[in-house]
């Protein structure tokens, strides 16, 4: 028996990175990419990728998994079901949240989420630490130690009654992050405007889901972005602005970056493919499309695509925040829930990559002409790996983890509730037909999904610790 040179060879595919597209073979040994070239020696296992695209697995850097909302509603996915959905949709690494609520020890929160993820995850993972109770012990003891241990990013909320930090506390956390080299990610909306609008709408009897969008005025985004960017500049601390939803928001981020400020930003498929009109459905059906900030309008979609192409926005995450459309989730306030009682968030882990591939590669969004495949890889894998310091991830190169999705660019799939493998029970993108599907998905050389079936197993995902602190370049796209 000849000795195989590699554990696995992915042969004759079209390999795509953020900068290149070329035909070749990828050799994998002990979970890492050992060689890239033509006519590689045999592998113990071989995958014939002729006619297929060999892409880095997706990195979804904003996902809520097994997380209790501030209103006390448990989201629908466990680490097992969420990472099954990730694998199914071509994503091989997720960053989810270790979510502190008031009165909780941040250390215990991180330990508890680590146990849940170690038990269930079938793709690799890391955590952003949500800080909602920045006590002396959190700021001076737990945060510095946890950052040093590899949890190199913090998440803050500027809205939500039970989670929000005020300006002074925002500065405290930015200063700790600067000292210990963590990235600070922020949900930036003006809380007062949203609360005031909500009260006013309810007083007028306007309770339907569509009023959720009205209650988050565009100015709530621009005001909070401006205040946040000013605070971060004062401390000279890099920030990541989550889920940019408006044209004005994207412009503020772009202007800040052009001034040399250390500002990153993401958007999500819900802001690229949905609009506020989706919330206007009979009964409470619009609740399925309710997230914060809300989807806006067509002109915002166009501006966000332009900002992605320009590099003003650097990543597209799902902000997967799954709540079932029943009494355990969206409808926990009963059949007459007002928009204020309905949990915010959409499922998106399994649809993010196919939706983006379809729009950028198959439907050829004009902003990415000539660079569609590379830009898709850049926005969904390479940039998130770089920005969040996920060593070994986000690219196809010798020495990196063999996190690979093999795509059939011609396969058409209609997204339906029944197709979804996560626990949410619906997708807000139901009815859309996408062209392009990740048919084989590998995490560190191990197959986790093939032909629509996920093969796990739970617990095989690895915790990616980001030691050495935050290391990405602050500017440069
Ligand atoms: O509506 C959303 N996005 N819910 C999840 C929590 C958050 O705001 O990120
Ligand atoms: Zn948010
Ligand atoms: Zn979120």
Q: What is the mean pLDDT of the chain?
A: 96
pLDDT value of position 469:
67
pLDDT at res. 477: 34
Whether the CB-CB separation of 438 and 405 falls below 8 Å is answered with: yes
- Please state the atom number of ligand 1 nearest to the C-alpha of residue 160: 8
Phi-psi category of residue 154: left, alpha or beta, with phi > 0 → left and psi -120 to 50 → alpha: beta
Looking at all shown ligands, the one closest to residue 270's CA atom is 1
Measured from the Cα of 69, ligand 1's closest atom is: 6
Residue 208: half-sphere exposure toward Cβ, Cα within 13 Å = 12
**Res. 474: pLDDT tops 50:** no
Coil/strand/helix, residue 295: coil
Q: How many CA atoms lie within 13 A of 126 on its CB side?
A: 26
pLDDT above 50 (res 206): yes
Cβ neighbors of 118 (< 8 A, separation 6 or more) are 459, 463
User: Could you say which DSSP state residue 413 is in?
Assistant: E
Which tokens belong to 444? 């560190």
% of the chain residues with pLDDT over 90: 94
Whether residue 345 has its Cβ less than 6 Å from ligand 1: yes
**118 contacts 89 by C-beta, under 8 angstroms:** no
Whole-angstrom Cα distance, residue 108 to residue 99? 10
Q: Is the shortest distance between the CB of 292 and ligand 1 below 6 Å?
A: yes
Q: How far does the centroid of ligand 3 lie from the alpha carbon of residue 301, in Å?
A: 19
d(CA 57, CA 55): 6
**Band of the pLDDT at 471, cuts 50, 70, 90?**
low
Q: Cis omega before residue 397 (within 30°)? A: no
At residue 220, does pLDDT exceed 60?
yes
For residue 408, what are the β-bridge partners?
Answer: 437
| Domains, the chain, ordered by start | 6-55+397-454 (2.30.40.10), 58-366 (3.20.20.140)
Ligand 1 atom at minimum distance from 344 CA? 1
| 321 CB within 6 A, ligand 1 | yes
Whole-number pLDDT of residue 452: 83
- The closest residue, in CA terms, to atom 4 on ligand 1 is 345
Q: Is 444 in the pocket of ligand 1 (CB under 6 A)?
A: no
Q: Distance from the CA of 185 to the center of ligand 2, in angstroms?
A: 9
With CA atoms as reference, report the closest residue to 183 among 315, 23, 337: 315
Distance 392 CA to ligand 2 centre (A): 27
- Residue 291 near ligand 1, beta carbon < 6 Å: yes
Q: Write out pLDDT tens, residues 374-390.
A: 999 999 999 999 999 99
Ligand 1 center–CA 428 separation, angstroms: 15
What digits encode the pLDDT tens for the residues 78-115? 999 999 999 999 999 999 999 999 999 999 999 999 99
Contact 11, 25 (CB under 8 A): yes
Q: What whole-number distance in Å separates Cα of residue 242 and Cα of residue 271?
A: 12
Question: 135 CA to middle of ligand 1, Å?
Answer: 24
The rounded Å distance from CA 96 to ligand 1 centre is 12
Give per-residue pLDDT as tens, 133-152. Answer: 999 999 999 999 999 999 99
CB of 344 within 6 A of ligand 1: the answer is yes
- State the distance from the centre of ligand 1 to the C-alpha of 397, rounded, in angstroms: 34
Distance in Å, CA 158 to ligand 1 centroid: 12
Tell me, using a 6 A CB cutoff, whether residue 319 lines ligand 1.
yes
Q: Is 387 helix (H, G, I), strand (E, B) or coil?
A: helix
**What letters, b where the CB count within 10 A reaches 16 and e where it falls short, cover 379-418?**
bbbbbbbbbbbbebbbbbeeebbbbbbbbbeeeebebeee
Substitution site in 162, 163, 187 for ligand 1 pocket (most atoms within 8 Å of beta carbon): 187
pLDDT at position 139 is 97
Residue ranges of the alpha helices (H) in 268-349?
269-273, 298-310
């Amino acid at each position: 028996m000849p000795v195989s040179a590699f554990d696995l060879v992915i042969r004759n595919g079209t390999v795509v990175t953020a900068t290149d597209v070329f035909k070749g073979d990828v050799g994998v040994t002990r979970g890492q990419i050992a060689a890239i070239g033509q006519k590689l020696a045999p592998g113990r296992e071989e995958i014939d990728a002729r006619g297929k695209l060999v892409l880095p697995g997706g990195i979804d850097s904003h996902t809520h998994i097994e997380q209790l909302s501030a209103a006390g509603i448990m989201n629908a996915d466990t680490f097992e079901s969420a990472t099954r959905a990730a694998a199914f949709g071509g994503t091989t690494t997720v960053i989810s949240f270790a979510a502190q609520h008031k009165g909780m020890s941040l250390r215990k929160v991180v330990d508890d989420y680590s146990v849940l993820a170690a038990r269930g995850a079938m793709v690799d993972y890391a955590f952003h630490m949500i800080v909602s109770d920045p006590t002396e012990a959190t700021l001076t003891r737990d945060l510095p130690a946890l950052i040093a241990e590899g949890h190199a990013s913090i998440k803050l909320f500027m809205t939500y009654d039970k989670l929000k930090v005020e300006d002074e506390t925002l500065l405290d956390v930015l200063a700790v992050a600067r000292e210990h080299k963590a990235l600070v990610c922020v949900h930036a909306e003006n809380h007062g405007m949203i609360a005031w609008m909500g009260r006013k709408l309810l007083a007028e009897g306007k309770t339907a889901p569509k009023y959720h969008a009205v209650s988050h005025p565009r100015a709530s985004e621009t005001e909070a972005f401006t205040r946040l960017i000013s605070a971060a500049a004062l401390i000279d601390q890099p920030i990541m602005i989550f889920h940019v939803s408006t044209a004005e928001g994207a412009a503020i981020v772009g202007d800040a970056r052009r001034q040399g400020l250390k500002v990153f930003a993401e958007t999500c498929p819900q802001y690229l493919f949905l609009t506020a009109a989706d919330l206007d459905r009979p009964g409470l059906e619009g609740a399925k499309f309710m997230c914060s900030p809300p989807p806006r309008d067509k002109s915002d979609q166009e501006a966000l695509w332009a900002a992605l192409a320009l590099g003003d926005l650097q990543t597209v995450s799902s902000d997967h925040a799954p709540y079932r459309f029943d009494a355990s989730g969206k409808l926990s306030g009963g059949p007459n829930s007002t928009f204020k009682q309905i949990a915010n968030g959409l499922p998106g882990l399994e649809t993010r990559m196919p939706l983006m591939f379809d729009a950028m590669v198959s439907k050829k969004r004009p902003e990415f002409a000539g660079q569609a495949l590379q830009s898709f890889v850049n926005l969904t894998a390479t940039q998130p790996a770089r920005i969040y310091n996920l060593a070994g991830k986000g690219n196809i190169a010798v020495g990196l983890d063999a996190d690979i999705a093999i795509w059939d660019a011609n396969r058409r799939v209609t997204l339906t509730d029944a197709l979804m493998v996560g626990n949410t029970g619906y997708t807000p993108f139901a009815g859309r037909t996408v062209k392009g599907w990740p048919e084989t998905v590998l995490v560190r050389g191990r197959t986790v999904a093939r032909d629509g079936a996920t093969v796990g197993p739970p617990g095989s995902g690895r915790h990616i610790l980001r030691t050495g602190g935050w290391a990405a370049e602050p500017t440069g796209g």
